[in-house]
Structure 1
């Protein structure tokens, strides 16, 4: 192939990646997220290019029709799971253009054009067919669907090429096409964990695994701090409802809530939900000693999660879910004996919530604790608590680092009230019968 053709294809691929860069930039991602997105796309593309070159080598070794075994849906499927559907469709285009270059021969052949068409159709089918990728079995089932569609595409392309449909050659093409469809998803299942590890990604399937009650860290919370475990489950229900309401990542919110207070497992009795029979160890401590123990649970939690190689978004939730809020109770208690004490000395280390998901958990965590400690919570009391906590967070500037809007905060407010009223609704008191049993 002449050098100018190599140069032409190289510049064409470069142009596509420039479009990808400007599209990513237009999405207004933070610089770190933009770099990560480009690295993921490039890494998946290089992996796909290796597959293409291997297929081309096998084809040059006189393995007839082996090109149809190429896992055309691999790159789009990986990109849909790791990034989103738009990047997946962009991946289909990039693979199609690259395959036109790879399968180009010295003599123009209609079979090369049909091969590129097959790759584009298979890739598009993979993106459209893959809907539920929270479970690996669903990914495998989608692979079977794409394999079946590949068979149909192969038959149609053979017909267009005026090939005999009942020949050994045609059956070979159909078999390879089916294997290529399934292979795309099998390779995806095998390599997704690798990409997750390399780039520190948190996919839906990974979140599902972390939500398993049998996870060692969740069992640790249950055994060492059962009150905290119950509190975390309640916060998860509240926060998930709020995330659904404003379109945030509800699964991340739910799983993050499960682990957000794991730092309390180091000193369970010092947190009110784990105190039994009214025994409060803080009664024996100074406000500053109590402050140090309470404030440390966010950094302790982040350290525990790091030691257990948990994904970074879960670690961030544990560290940031209190933002830089003030530990008011012990601050005012210390102020009684030391009027000169600075409020900043009783603030969490933060930082402030940088995402909507952490902002939601910030609110839901405080609301659940406040309502739980409220005696006989009524609709009016719940409304006052929710309004007061959200107002304090806004006035304290806790949401200045994330893009949550006042409209979204209002929807969160109403969702919390509605959900809490459903949990703490007043029950009818049934009269006792003569045996003291409830009728």
Structure 2
């Protein structure tokens, strides 16, 4: 009896989750149903007759399959732009494939285009979801044709595999060549299994269309990035060029912050590689995380020379100034169309931590002051790369205070800071596990030890004598040769 009740509760929860999904994304479901309906009946020569209930059930299956896939990608929960861009690319892809069937007699003319765009911009999981979308949608439009579904599945899967780690534009063209070969082979295979076309003309078309699609992909990628603020690794690397106008301004107005950001980038990138998340996002996010400081650079210790302006300010005003650099950085990110995730890093790299120095200073004046009045605005880090940058930011700032940075002292300080931030519950929403933190500590220590290792000091007098002896030897050898 208890088992039946438990099963009933699980079914009820699953149904509630599905209803919640449809209620939250109803506009997407309706738009997809309309698009598929239009394409299905625009191919009037197929003479497909299906009941509306059966059709809606199939569309629901496609929609749920997509949503289950992209729900695993954290960025889709953070920004609606990801959802809108994802379904927009899918819709355009389906329309193009429908037109290709109408004019050429087979689909797949441009499957490389939408699947590669989604994979490059949003990652492997989103790319796989888009492949399932095309595979299942083809069943709806083309009368449950297994051969077309398998065609989309094979070509889409290879596209995802080849474009999942694209860092250069030429890599897109290379991926397209392999997809072209697969598509040409599928077109040439026996018509009873896959595509019912085996003429040389269509084999050539099957070979050429991924290559042409790759040219379009390379051409429109920057426009999609700029419009949606969802950047590929290619776009991120271009932003990470230190000649970017914002980074140039930072190096001039706040040179201490600029140097701190460059060191921080090395730390964050190494840690990201260690736990197998996006090292490019970690590096570029580190470059831009403190760009708001150039609005008031003199209020931050790394840019101060003689006077500390905070010494003449009330702690509450100092708190406002510190929080301002987060707000200013976020505004600059929007103004310069930086990636959404970079703006997130700017907002999240301090989380909601207490500004302890000014809090304790204020408490000396007023013992009843609250911690909440001296916290950063947040939110807490929402993804692993943001969590890594929070840790690296605190560690890089603290490590410079060590007078004699031996490996044991560095390891002790790194471990202490990571434990403090973890115990403050700042990493609860980042997705970082305890295993991740162990690996991050290990990598931070390795990088910092190699950066701050003690140099061997040579006695100046001894060096001078050695140079004199070397000079005399050279002169003697020259005279002997004469």
TM bracket, shorter-chain basis: 0.7 to 0.9
How far the C-alpha of 1:264 sits from its partner, in A, is: 0.9
Say whether the 8 Å CA contact 1:73–1:124 is kept in structure 2.
Answer: no
Pairing 1:226–2:225 present: no
- Gaps in structure 1 of 5+ consecutive residues: 60-64, 105-111
Question: What residue is the counterpart of 1:143 in the other structure?
Answer: 176
> Take 1:116 and 1:375, find their aligned partners in 2: how far apart are those partners?
65
Report the 3-state secondary structure (helix = DSSP H, G, I; strand = E; otherwise coil) of the residue aligned with 1:4: coil
Pairing 1:382–2:410 present: yes
Q: CA 1:161–1:346 in 2, change beyond 3 Å: closer, same or farther?
A: closer
Question: What residue is the counterpart of 1:426 in the other structure?
Answer: 454
Question: What residue is the counterpart of 1:44 in the other structure?
Answer: 89
How far the C-alpha of 1:5 sits from its partner, in A, is: 7.6
The number of equivalent residue pairs is: 421
Pairing 1:55–2:83 present: no
Pairing 1:321–2:349 present: yes
Q: Deviations over 1:238-261 (max 9, x none)?
A: 122222223333221211110011
Residues 24-39 of structure 1 mapped to structure 2, 5 A cutoff = 24=70, 27=72, 32=77, 39=84
> Take 2:434 and 2:157, find their aligned partners in 1: how far apart are those partners?
39
Question: What residue is the counterpart of 1:92 in the other structure?
Answer: 131
> Take 2:152 and 2:371, find their aligned partners in 1: how far apart are those partners?
63
> Take 2:255 and 2:437, find their aligned partners in 1: how far apart are those partners?
31
Question: What residue is the counterpart of 1:403 in the other structure?
Answer: 431
- RMSD (CA atoms): 3.5
Say whether the 8 Å CA contact 1:74–1:123 is kept in structure 2.
Answer: no
How far the C-alpha of 1:163 sits from its partner, in A, is: 11
> Take 1:187 and 1:178, find their aligned partners in 2: how far apart are those partners?
16
How far the C-alpha of 1:69 sits from its partner, in A, is: 7.5
Say whether the 8 Å CA contact 1:240–1:253 is kept in structure 2.
Answer: yes
> Take 2:195 and 2:391, find their aligned partners in 1: how far apart are those partners?
66
Residues 8-407 of structure 1 mapped to structure 2, 5 A cutoff = 11-24=57-70, 27=72, 32=77, 39-59=84-104, 67=106, 70-99=109-138, 119-157=152-190, 170-197=199-226, 199-276=228-305, 278-407=306-435
Q: CA 1:188–1:117 in 2, change beyond 3 Å: closer, same or farther?
A: same
Question: What residue is the counterpart of 1:413 in the other structure?
Answer: 441
> Take 1:397 and 1:291, find their aligned partners in 2: how far apart are those partners?
21
Moved more, 233-242 or 197-206: 197-206
How far the C-alpha of 1:134 sits from its partner, in A, is: 1.8
- Gaps in structure 2 of 5+ consecutive residues: 1-46, 468-482
Say whether the 8 Å CA contact 2:74–2:383 is kept in structure 1.
Answer: no
Report the 3-state secondary structure (helix = DSSP H, G, I; strand = E; otherwise coil) of the residue aligned with 2:446: helix
How far the C-alpha of 1:38 sits from its partner, in A, is: 5.5
Say whether the 8 Å CA contact 1:233–1:258 is kept in structure 2.
Answer: yes
Q: TM-score, normalised by structure 1?
A: 0.82
Report the 3-state secondary structure (helix = DSSP H, G, I; strand = E; otherwise coil) of the residue aligned with 1:71: coil
Q: TM-score, normalised by structure 2?
A: 0.76
> Take 1:238 and 1:184, find their aligned partners in 2: how far apart are those partners?
38
Moved more, 389-398 or 36-45: 36-45
